[in-house]
Structure 1
């Protein structure tokens, strides 16, 4: 059976067997009149008066015969476009009574799946009593059918007004309902573009304006402390930058940078500052039990060969075994990991120093370890190298970009972690031009590469 489809939600489209078929303008208008009849048989002279817009056309004598002949020509063109077999099923000729006897009338019989406005109305009506997720799917499908002003070629013709107005009202209802349903489902991001279009089209509509404000408030509340977020759909990963407390990220693995001696002594803030990330790890995660943290580090470092040992003479305080930059050891917490990573070197004066090459190597080894030990959980990290590590060659923005680029590069090879979360303390956030970082991130494609997919 040849598939017929008539589209009137916008410029009229007739397709037969999946291919569009061209019609003369008057034939298109006649087709729209039959669509507007909603399955009713329309006498030939009424078709002529309404389609040719000659309301006083006589239906008797030579003039009447000529008018009916004009209609028959258009009907014949439409039948040829539909195909003989299909036309016999959907475009019916009947005889109806008039004041002087009988007259030919024409009826268009299309199923909902053959007429876009019927399918549109059916979906909108079903959505009115459907469960929220089902309603969202039905309304989205209905709105996808909408291509513009309904029955466009018959604009201003009396026969088209009622159907066009009814469809426009359904379109308005569908959009408003879809906004409401998206909000009910907790998807304000999906509701936002619809609400913005409604507000632009109806600047004086208080209800639409209130709904748009509500959506924006919900979106801001959902982001909370997030200051940057980008989903890379090609990699199925997310990069987030947020203000907050690294050790409050209890759903994520944590990254803690160490010097090459893995020092943990925070007494008097001489060897390690108690305010550093290492110091916070000791006091907040290990309850200030330095012996326990050192025991965990020794256990994790058993398979790592030191690269040197300092003498007590030259390094009287702190640990003396040195490990390679880039060393990463996972420490086990309940259901997650702390990745202790060497990203700087500690001098004999106990001050640490790092270089861009040190940080790149550290990050490369970090993602390798996260891939093996990270349990596919998000990874929360401070801005490695930006503080006491004294990585002076790079600004904070450059360090953040380096961390993000390194993570995305690793994710293009293997699924390292579903999210990179860079956590900044409020005072650190104030010292970073995050717009520079955001421009870098937004210039990347969906696969994390520069350019064409952005």
Structure 2
């Protein structure tokens, strides 16, 4: 309810409400004017009709502006994009996307236990880092490294940004995409260009391995990637959605992309503005 209360305090909510209400009231007035040509005394004798038209217009405007789940269905390609509030790892019926560094480190202190990658190790692999490393190494065996990180503790072999490892659990897939660079001090960083190119490579792998099933992706740009100043939460949603839609127009990626935002970030977003952006991605 707090997010709904916040939405109805936004300028966009009131703009939509007033625009839609005035549009309906204007149409009603035009119809009433035409009727008055043939029954000039109708509205003077029944003033309640005008009040009913006004109330109907306000209710219509309110219905059009009222906050709804943030999602858009597209026809070309046939896919859906959603933004939801919650826990990425609670989406048990979907494939998950996990952002990693170009060295594919998996353990502390190189990876924060509170990060998405740290939670992946704990909640999906039961903190079995050796098994996760083995699975990653098996998938990387066919990928050519691009160098090493001299003086770094932990893993030192670099792989190209956009390298995506697909880990399997029955019919479920976990896509680990490298979108940050790790330095010798185990500090991860990236750029918007690096993230964009990484997402472009990611969608190719998702297209080949998801079997069309729903895919969940966390917000990107915060945490260890150091992108928050240039890619805040709202822009992160736009960035992911735009990248996905452009890739989908080349060839369908999956039936549904779900962007999962932690509660604090979700509540801070302008939901109506995000919905308007997702709607704008429909072909004109």
Q: Residue 234 and residue 309 in structure 1: after superposition, are their counterparts in 2 closer, same or farther (change >3 A)? A: closer
Q: What is the Cα deviation at residue 377 of structure 1?
A: 0.6
Question: Structure 2 residue aligned with 1:235, among 69, 73, 77?
Answer: 77
Aligned to 2:262: 425
The CA distance in 1 between the partners of 2:167 and 2:181, in whole Å, is 21
Q: What is the Cα deviation at residue 432 of structure 1?
A: 3.3
SS of the aligned residue for 1:388 comes to: helix
> Whose relative contact order is higher, 1 or 2, with alpha carbons under 8 Å and at least 6 apart?
2
Aligned to 1:272: 111
- Structure 1 gaps of 5+ residues are 1-154, 156-199, 210-215, 448-452
Q: Write the deviation string for residues 160-205 of structure 1: whole angstroms up to 9, x where unpaired.
A: xxxxxxxxxxxxxxxxxxxxxxxxxxxxxxxxxxxxxxxx78x89x
Q: Write the deviation string for residues 303-347 of structure 1: whole angstroms up to 9, x where unpaired.
A: 111111234xx21x2211111111111111221210000011111
Q: How do 1:433-448 and structure 2 match up within 5 A?
A: 433-445=270-282, 447=283
Question: Structure 2 residue aligned with 1:327, among 129, 145, 163?
Answer: 163
C-alpha contact 1:397 1:434 (8 A) present in aligned 2: no
Question: Structure 2 residue aligned with 1:340, among 166, 176, 198?
Answer: 176
C-alpha contact 2:105 2:155 (8 A) present in aligned 1: yes
Aligned to 2:253: 416
Q: What is the Cα deviation at residue 434 of structure 1?
A: 3.7
Question: Structure 1 residue aligned with 2:235, among 398, 402, 424?
Answer: 398
The CA distance in 2 between the partners of 1:244 and 1:435, in whole Å, is 18
Q: What is the Cα deviation at residue 252 of structure 1?
A: 1.1
Question: Structure 2 residue aligned with 1:301, among 127, 132, 140?
Answer: 140
Q: Write the deviation string for residues 235-284 of structure 1: whole angstroms up to 9, x where unpaired.
A: 21111000001011111110000011111113xxx211101010011000
List structure 1 runs of 4+ shifted beyond 4 angstroms. Answer: none
Aligned to 2:97: 255
Aligned to 1:116: none
Aligned to 1:18: none
C-alpha contact 1:343 1:354 (8 A) present in aligned 2: yes
The CA distance in 2 between the partners of 1:322 and 1:280, in whole Å, is 23
C-alpha contact 1:308 1:323 (8 A) present in aligned 2: yes
C-alpha contact 2:149 2:183 (8 A) present in aligned 1: no
The CA distance in 1 between the partners of 2:135 and 2:95, in whole Å, is 16
SS of the aligned residue for 1:297 comes to: helix
Q: What is the Cα deviation at residue 380 of structure 1?
A: 0.2
Aligned to 1:94: none
Q: Say which one has the larger Rg.
A: 1
SS of the aligned residue for 1:264 comes to: coil
The CA distance in 2 between the partners of 1:352 and 1:427, in whole Å, is 23
C-alpha contact 1:256 1:277 (8 A) present in aligned 2: yes
What's the TM-score, normalizing by structure 1? 0.47
Q: What is the Cα deviation at residue 401 of structure 1?
A: 0.7
The CA distance in 2 between the partners of 1:438 and 1:390, in whole Å, is 26
- Structure 2 gaps of 5+ residues are 1-37, 39-51
Q: What is the Cα deviation at residue 381 of structure 1?
A: 0.3
C-alpha contact 1:343 1:385 (8 A) present in aligned 2: no
Q: Does 1:388 align with 2:224?
A: yes
SS of the aligned residue for 1:440 comes to: helix
What's the TM-score, normalizing by structure 2? 0.74
SS of the aligned residue for 1:300 comes to: helix
SS of the aligned residue for 1:411 comes to: helix
Q: What is the Cα deviation at residue 396 of structure 1?
A: 2.2
C-alpha contact 1:246 1:380 (8 A) present in aligned 2: yes
